[in-house]
């Protein structure tokens, strides 16, 4: 771990320190940014204090849901070079002073990820990062209402936002279901608030929305870590039940919209509730979860220029592991066996890889959550064949997480073969997994793009919703 850090540190310690007296004073606050995996920038604040012949210091991450501060473990300042580490979060930095810009210009590592990082004395405001021109700002031209409702079956209280046009009426309404991981009501990813932007557009065009924090997130209670897609579908049903109590909702036009994993939840919920008036699947699965893993791996490997022979060998090597995770064994058994397999993979890995991480860290970084395993086990056929209401499935042609052609073809085929002729399928040219118009279209570009969602997408969805007839649902 941190091999590059130690090489640089040794070089400094054994090198010439004659210039040390020329080095500048580090005392006070220094401001920088770090690029996360999905491309968004987050701020870092350093604070150095004199201590004996050196310094002590802290690192603050102000853009986390709750700002956190950590003590610097090692601080080395020699001549024009600064190195420090924060072992609590596996963070390390090395930078060289640039007199022209009055900054330390260098590189940070955060766990396995690395990012260019510069530190200077000028404070960085959150508004200076991640420009989001589509994000709406108050005052709004429509009604927004903070609401709470309960999933009484599972003892969970959920908090969200109901949005509709200002004029009182009975509006079609869409329940918005976010993607994987602990999502707030805005389905925030890479600094983009997709559902906030959608709710704004929908309300301005005659469609109400209900979006809510996942269980255990924001204003919602419950335990996210022990929950899976079936629990999330139960929460979505609770949202539906709540909407049926409102006087400003057209009860025959309550639909669900899910993005990515949320589209799976939408399938599950609609399959079990014939009163759902319509379903919109954004970048949703049509292939079984186990098949999607192999497809994702092939797409990413091809983008990286990996030869087909190596892709096939890697797929063969990992097959037992993914087969285990997608098996019907109890999750406790799956986890135990998976940890053993990961430890064996580590044992067989090249020494160069072992110098970058430990076996325990490799196990920790594997996603063996209830949520992830339930997605791997998921079989779309079992749910899609039961959905008879109008169904829209859309995707971007440049989505490398959920391949557009294979998944949309599977969704359309299953629906139509099982009698659902109310099916609309559309590929949006040049859009990625978040429905942004992209350049490289890789995950690490999401946050760097200013566009939250291509305007053609919400326009297409709203036009489709407004032309739908009232759905008779379970009274058929």
- The region of weakest confidence among 195-204, 231-240, 294-303, 354-363 is 354-363
Share of the chain above pLDDT 70, in %: 94
pLDDT higher than threshold 80 for residue 247: yes
Cβ atoms < 10 Å from Cβ of 23: 15
Q: What is the CA radius of gyration of the chain?
A: 25
pLDDT score recorded for residue 18: 40
The helix or strand, by DSSP H or E, that contains position 100, with its residue range, turns out to be none
- Partnered with residue 281 across adjacent β-strands are 258, 393
Eight-state DSSP code of residue 2: -
SS3 472: coil
Q: At 341, list the tokens.
A: 């397999």
pTM for the whole structure: 0.88
- CATH class, range 3-9+21-128: mainly beta
pLDDT score recorded for residue 11: 46
pLDDT higher than threshold 90 for residue 65: no
Q: What backbone phi and psi angles, to 5 degrees, belong to 124?
A: -105, 125
Distance from C-alpha of 270 to C-alpha of 276, rounded to nearest angstrom = 6
Give me the chain's average pLDDT, please.
91
Domain boundaries defined on the chain:
3-9+21-128, 142-288+378-470, 290-374
pLDDT score recorded for residue 17: 43
Distance from C-alpha of 93 to C-alpha of 53, rounded to nearest angstrom = 21
DSSP for 260-291, please give it.
THHHHHHHHHHHT-TT---EEEES---S-HHH
Which comes out higher in pLDDT, residue 20 or 28?
Answer: 28
pLDDT score recorded for residue 23: 65
Work out whether the CA dihedral 296, 286, 173, 465 comes out positive or negative: positive
Cβ atoms < 10 Å from Cβ of 302: 13
pLDDT higher than threshold 80 for residue 259: yes
Please name which of 248, 245, 241 lies closest in space to residue 275, comparing C-alpha atoms.
241
Distance from C-alpha of 180 to C-alpha of 182, rounded to nearest angstrom = 7
Longest dimension (CA), the chain: 87
Distance from C-alpha of 78 to C-alpha of 75, rounded to nearest angstrom = 10
pLDDT score recorded for residue 354: 81
Q: What backbone phi and psi angles, to 5 degrees, belong to 134?
A: -85, -10
Does the fold of domain 142-288+378-470 match that of domain 3-9+21-128? no
DSSP for 185-199, please give it.
TT-EETTEEHHHHHH
User: pLDDT by residue (tens digit) across 167-205?
Assistant: 999 999 999 999 999 999 999 999 999 999 999 999 999
Superfamily of domain 142-288+378-470: Alpha/Beta hydrolase fold, catalytic domain (3.40.50.1820)
- The region of weakest confidence among 33-37, 98-102, 131-135, 225-229 is 33-37
């Amino acid at each position: 771990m941190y091999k590059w850090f130690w090489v640089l540190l040794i070089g400094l310690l054994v090198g010439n320190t004659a210039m040390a007296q020329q080095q500048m004073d580090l005392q006070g606050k220094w401001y920088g940014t770090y690029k996360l995996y999905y491309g968004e920038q987050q701020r870092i604040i350093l604070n150095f204090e004199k201590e004996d012949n050196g310094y002590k210091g802290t690192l603050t991450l102000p853009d986390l849901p709750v700002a956190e501060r950590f003590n610097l473990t090692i601080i080395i300042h020699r001549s024009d070079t600064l190195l420090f580490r924060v072992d609590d979060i596996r963070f390390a930095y090395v930078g060289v002073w640039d007199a022209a810009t009055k900054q330390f210009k260098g590189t940070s590592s955060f766990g396995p990820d690395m990012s260019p990082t510069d530190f200077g004395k000028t404070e960085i405001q959150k508004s200076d990062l991640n420009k989001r021109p589509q994000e709406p700002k108050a005052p709004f031209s429509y009604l927004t209402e903070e609401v709470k409702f309960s999933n009484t079956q599972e003892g969970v209280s959920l908090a969200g936002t109901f949005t509709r046009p200002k004029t009182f009426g009975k509006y079609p309404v869409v329940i918005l279901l976010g993607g994987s991981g602990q999502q707030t009501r805005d389905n925030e990813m890479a600094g983009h608030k997709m559902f906030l932007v959608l709710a704004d557009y929908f309300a301005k065009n005659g469609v109400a929305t209900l979006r809510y924090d996942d269980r255990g997130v924001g204003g919602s209670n419950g335990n996210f870590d022990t929950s899976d897609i079936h629990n999330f579908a139960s929460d979505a049903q609770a949202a539906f039940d709540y909407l049926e109590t409102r006087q400003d909702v057209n009860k025959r036009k309550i639909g669900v919209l899910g993005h990515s994993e949320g589209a799976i939840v939408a399938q599950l919920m609609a399959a079990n509730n014939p009163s759902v008036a319509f379903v919109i699947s954004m970048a949703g699965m049509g292939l079984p979860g186990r098949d999607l893993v192999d497809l994702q791996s092939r797409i990413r490997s091809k983008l990286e220029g990996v030869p087909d022979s190596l892709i096939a060998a890697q797929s063969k090597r990992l097959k037992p592991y993914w087969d285990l995770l997608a098996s019907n064994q109890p999750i406790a058994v799956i986890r135990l066996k998976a940890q053993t397999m990961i430890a064996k993979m580590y044992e067989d890995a090249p020494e160069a890889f072992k110098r970058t991480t430990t076996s325990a860290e490799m196990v920790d970084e594997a996603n063996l959550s209830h949520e992830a395993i339930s997605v791997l086990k998921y079989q779309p056929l079992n749910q899609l064949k039961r959905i008879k209401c109008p169904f829209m499935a859309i995707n971007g042609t440049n989505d490398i997480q959920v391949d557009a052609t294979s998944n949309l073809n599977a969704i359309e085929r299953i629906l139509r073969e099982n009698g659902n002729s109310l099916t609309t399928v559309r590929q949006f040219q040049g859009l990625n997994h978040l429905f942004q118009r992209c350049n490289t279209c890789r995950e690490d570009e999401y946050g760097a793009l200013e566009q939250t969602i291509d305007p053609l997408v919400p326009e297409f969805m709203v036009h489709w919703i407004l032309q739908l007839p009232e759905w008779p649902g379970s009274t058929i």
